[in-house]
Chains A and B, each alone.
Chain A
C-alpha cells in the first residue's frame, strides 16, 4: 500500500555524529521505478539518483525536486569566485550539527574534511558541537551558520561584520548565507521523511 508508514522493527539509528558513510531508510514508500515518467527523470536531474530511496521518495513531486537539486548544485558546486568549497561544506555541516541531522552532517562533514584537509577540526565540530573552538575564521563561519539556522533567524549585521573581519567579502558572505540556508531545507527533509542507519 502506498499511503502507509514503513516500519523497521529492531532498527537502531546512529546515536552520535560521525564522518562515516550512513544509509538512509525512508518512512514513506519511494516512487516505484516502473512509474518514472519523463517528468520524473527531469526532476531527478541525474539518472543515478534513481537508485536513491531519498530522491525516489522526493520524485513523487518532480517539479520541486528538480528545482531543489539545481539550487543545491549551484550553491555548492559553482566555485567561480566566492567562498571556497570547503567553507560552504563547513556551513552545511554546522547547520546540520545544530539542527540535529546526523545523516546530513555525516555527508557534509566528509566533504568539509576532503576539501579543507582539516579532518580533526571537522570532527571536533561534530563531537563538541557548534561551540567548538576551531580558529577565528571557521568560528565566525560556524557562528553565522548557527545564527542563520535559529528560528527566529538570529543572523544580523554584527555577524556580517565578524565575517568581514576574518576576510570574507560580500559574495563570500552571500555564499555562506545560501549554504547554511540550503541546509535548513535539506535537514528538514532528511530528518522528517526517514531515518539514518549504519552501513553494513
Chain B
C-alpha cells in the first residue's frame, strides 16, 4: 500500500475550511474514504484504476471543472487527457434534462443530447471504457432518463453487475465531490468579498 493520499476535497477547494469541516468529522473522513475506495482500491476488480481516472476526467470536464479534471488526469496514459477533453467537449451541455414518466410531470420534460463516443476515439478507448463514458454522460446530465436498457448496454459491452455498481458509485460520488468543492469555493469567495 502506498501512503494515504492527502484529503482530496481540501486539496481541490484550495481554501482553509478546517474549522467547519472539523464539525462534521465523519463526513470529512468518509468523503475521503470514498475517494480512496474508488480511486485507490485494495482490489480494482474488473474496473482498472486507469479507467476509473479516465471516467473521472470526463465527468469533471462535463462539469466545467478543469482543475478537478487535471487532478484526476495525473495518473493517466499520456494520450488520454486530450482525447477525454475532446469527448467532454462533444458531450458538454446543461443539465439536468430528460423525460419523466408519462403524466402530470410530462410538461417538465426537457429534450437534450444523447451522447455517443466518437467512432475513432471509441477504437482508442475500447468498447468497455467507451460504454462507461456514455453511461457517465447520462448519469451526470440526464439521470431521469434512466432505463434498464442503459444497464443492458453496459452488460453488452462486457461490464459485470458488480462493475456497474462501482461505475455508478464512481460517477455519483464525483457528482457529490465536485459540488462540495464548488460550493466551498463559492463560500470562500464570498468570505473574501465580505468576511
Interface residues of A (CB under 8 A from B): 2-7, 13-17, 27-29, 57-58, 60-61, 63-68, 70-71, 73-75, 78, 80-82, 98-102, 129, 148-153, 155-157, 159-161, 164, 170-171, 173-175, 177-178, 180-182, 184-189, 191-193, 195
Contact call A71/B179, Cβ cutoff below 8 A: no
Q: Decide yes or no whether B83 CB sits under 8 A from chain A.
A: no
15 A-B pairs with C-beta separation under 8 A: A4-B155, A5-B151, A13-B101, A16-B104, A61-B37, A71-B31, A74-B30, A129-B108, A148-B179, A155-B183, A174-B20, A187-B143, A187-B172, A192-B143, A195-B146
Contact A151 B143 (CB under 8 A): no
Chain B: interface secondary structure? helix
Q: Does B187 contact A (CB under 8 A)?
A: yes
CB distance A75 to B152 under 8 Å?
no
B24 touches A191 (CB 8 A): no
Q: Would you give the shortest CB distance from A177 to chain B, in whole angstroms?
A: 3
On chain A, the residues within 8 Å of B193 by CB distance are 157
Q: Contact at B165–A57, with CB atoms within 8 Å? A: yes
Chain A residue contacts of B17, Cβ below 8 A:
174
* Residues from 146 to 195 in B contacting A, C-beta threshold 8 Å: 146, 148-152, 155, 160-162, 164-166, 168-173, 175-180, 182-184, 186-187, 189-191, 193-194
- Central interface residue in A27, A98, A177, A185, by most chain B CB within 10 Å: A185
* Cα distance A102–B143 in the bound complex, in angstroms: 12
Give A74 to B165 CA distance when docked, in angstroms.
Answer: 23
The one of B23, B42, B103, B171 in contact with A171, judged by C-beta atoms closer than 8 angstroms, is B23
Q: When the two chains form their complex, are residues A157 and B190 in contact, meaning their CB atoms are under 8 A apart?
A: yes
